């Protein structure tokens, strides 16, 4: 095991992705370990956003069809660029909406309670907004929240896929699960769960917010019915950037549950008919006009993924998180830091999750020391060394900053409660 900072620098010198660090704006005098919450801004994002503003300035309304990235087709263009990241065909992916809007749309489309099949299956560890949306969809269909079945965790950190499969009973109409758990970073076996759901004639979809851009996927071949995600975490699309949606081609032609202006087939949209002719692919799942200025940064960010390739991104991500966990075990075990994410590669996403009773104040001390972590109530610290812009030296410095904070009681000067945004 290599424990010195010089060893970390040597690993950085051998890093095949090291040139991409210069593509990002890294806040001054910080080690940024919060890319699983908000990815950093790329210099290309800045350039593409300016080019969109220039198109508005120079073309006016003709920007919808003129310029390098005509606005009328920008959602389809971004869908094509995201498709390889999730193992999908181009026409199965569209950039649109936001995570929760897209889940509402997909649930409105695929949740059709009938007879005994009235329940939605989810889990207790999912991000709250997904559960809010599913409960709202139940109410819209005339059901109370007792029809939402949530599979529990046996240890409070991870889900047992056998428990999920056991909950796929004949009264379940729809399943919505995370691909990667937002706290522990556990990867669920999407292929296995999809196969089991379909064997029971149940539609299944996944929230990819914490996996897209962090791990490879193969959604088309796995037969996943649908998926949705944000683009501001590992994809570095910027705060409030446009969301993404996957619809397996076997569902092309289905009537969108929340139809709107941009659900139309492109060649029919301006016919102004009051009967919708939906697009014959994932494009039918757009609702309103694309958010052009929030889409622009994503163009530049996705360029970098295409240059580097997901295999290289995943390889370095695993190396960084392996190294971080070994350092935590070596340097911080004496201070009660408990690693609560999976250690196996096939089960671990792009971040490390540790717990400590003083986590909130520890995170505040880290920020004071120039390390940006992510606190999750009540006692979780998420650390995301991102392949494009974090280094092995960053990891070394983060762990040793943590050790200094614990050894010298620096965290004690802060209240052990979360900030408004954490």
| Residue 71 marked as a ligand binder | no
How far apart, in whole angstroms, are the C-alpha atoms of residue 299 and residue 82? Answer: 10
- Which of 339, 418, 331, 329 is closest to 155 using CA atoms? 339
Element (H, E) at 102: helix 99-110
Q: Is 99 annotated as ligand-binding?
A: yes
- Check the annotation: does 128 bind a ligand: yes
Alpha helix (H) ranges present in 141-182?
Answer: 161-166
Active site residue 267: no
Q: Is 262 annotated as a binding residue?
A: no
**Interatomic CA distance for residues 231 and 241, integer angstroms:** 6
> What six digits make up the tokens of 115?
């007879």
Distance CA(65)–CA(74), nearest Å, equals: 10
171 labelled binding-site residue: no
Q: Is 232 a catalytic residue?
A: yes
* 271 assigned ligand-binding residue: no
Q: Hunting for tokens 């508005």 — which residue is that? A: 56
Active site residue 69: no
* Selection from 41, 3, 48, 39 nearest residue 22 by Cα: 41
How far apart, in whole angstroms, are the C-alpha atoms of residue 55 and residue 367?
39
Tokens 């986590």, residue located: 359
* 278-281 contacts at long range (C-beta below 8 A, 24 or more positions apart): 280/252, 280/253, 281/91, 281/92, 281/94, 281/247, 281/249, 281/252
Tell me which of 34, 123, 207, 281 is the catalytic residue. 207
* DSSP H or E run through 245: strand 244-247
Catalytic residue among 24, 48, 206, 232: 232
User: If we measure between CA atoms, which residue out of 217, 149, 236, 238 comes closest to residue 228?
Assistant: 217
Catalytic residue status for 382: yes
130 and 176 in contact (C-beta within 8 Å)? yes
Catalytic residue among 73, 77, 127, 252: 127
Rounded Cα distance between 206 and 123, Å, is 12
225 is in an annotated binding site: no
207 classed as catalytic: yes
The response to whether 153 counts as a known ligand-binding position is no
The active-site residue out of 119, 233, 316, 361 is 233
Does the annotation place 210 within a ligand binding site? yes
Among 44, 361, 382, 403, the one annotated catalytic: 382
CA distance 246 to 290: 16
Which residues define the annotated binding site? 99-100, 127-130, 207, 210, 232, 261, 289
Q: Which residues belong to the active site?
A: 127, 207, 232-233, 382
Which residues define the annotated binding site for pyridoxal 5'-phosphate? 99-100, 127-130, 207, 210, 232, 261, 289
């Amino acid at each position: 095991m290599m424990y010195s900072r010089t060893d970390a620098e040597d690993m950085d010198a051998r890093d095949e992705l090291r040139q991409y660090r210069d593509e990002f704006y890294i806040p001054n005098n910080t080690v940024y370990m919060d890319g699983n919450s908000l990815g950093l801004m790329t210099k290309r994002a800045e350039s593409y956003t300016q080019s969109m503003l220039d198109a508005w300035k120079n073309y006016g309304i003709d920007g919808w069809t003129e310029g390098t990235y005509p606005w009328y087709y920008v959602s389809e263009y971004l869908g094509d660029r995201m498709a390889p990241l999730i193992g999908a065909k181009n026409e199965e992916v569209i950039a649109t909406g936001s995570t929760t809007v897209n889940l509402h749309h997909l649930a409105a489309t695929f949740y059709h309670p009938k007879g005994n099949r009235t329940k939605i299956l989810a889990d207790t560890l999912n991000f709250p907004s997904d559960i809010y949306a599913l409960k709202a969809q139940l109410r819209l269909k005339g059901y109370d929240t007792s029809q939402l079945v949530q599979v529990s965790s046996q240890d409070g950190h991870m889900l047992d896929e056998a428990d999920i499969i056991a909950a796929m009973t004949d009264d379940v109409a729809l399943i919505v699960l995370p691909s990667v758990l937002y706290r522990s970073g556990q990867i669920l076996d999407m292929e296995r769960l999809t196969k089991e759901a379909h064997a029971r004639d149940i539609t299944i979809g996944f929230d990819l917010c914490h996996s897209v851009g962090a791990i490879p996927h193969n959604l088309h071949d796995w037969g996943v019915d649908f998926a949705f995600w944000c683009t501001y975490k590992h994809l570095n699309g910027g705060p409030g950037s446009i969301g993404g949606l996957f619809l397996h081609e076997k569902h092309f032609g289905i009537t969108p549950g929340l139809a709107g202006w941009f659900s139309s087939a492109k060649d029919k949209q301006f016919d102004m008919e009051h009967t919708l002719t939906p697009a014959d692919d994932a494009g039918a799942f757009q609702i309103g006009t694309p958010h052009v200025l929030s889409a622009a940064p994503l163009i530049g960010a996705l360029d970098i993924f295409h240059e580097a390739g997901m295999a290289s991104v995943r390889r370095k991500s695993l190396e960084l998180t392996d190294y971080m966990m070994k350092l935590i075990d070596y340097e911080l075990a004496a201070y009660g830091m408990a690693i609560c994410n999976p250690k196996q590669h096939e089960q671990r996403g792009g971040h490390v999750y540790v717990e400590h009773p003083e986590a909130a104040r520890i995170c505040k001390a880290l920020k004071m020391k120039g390390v940006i972590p992510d606190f999750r109530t009540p006692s979780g610290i998420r650390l995301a060394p991102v392949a494009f812009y974090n280094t092995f030296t960053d990891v070394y410095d983060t762990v040793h900053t943590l050790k200094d904070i614990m050894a010298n009681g620096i965290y004690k000067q802060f209240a052990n409660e979360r900030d408004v945004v954490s």
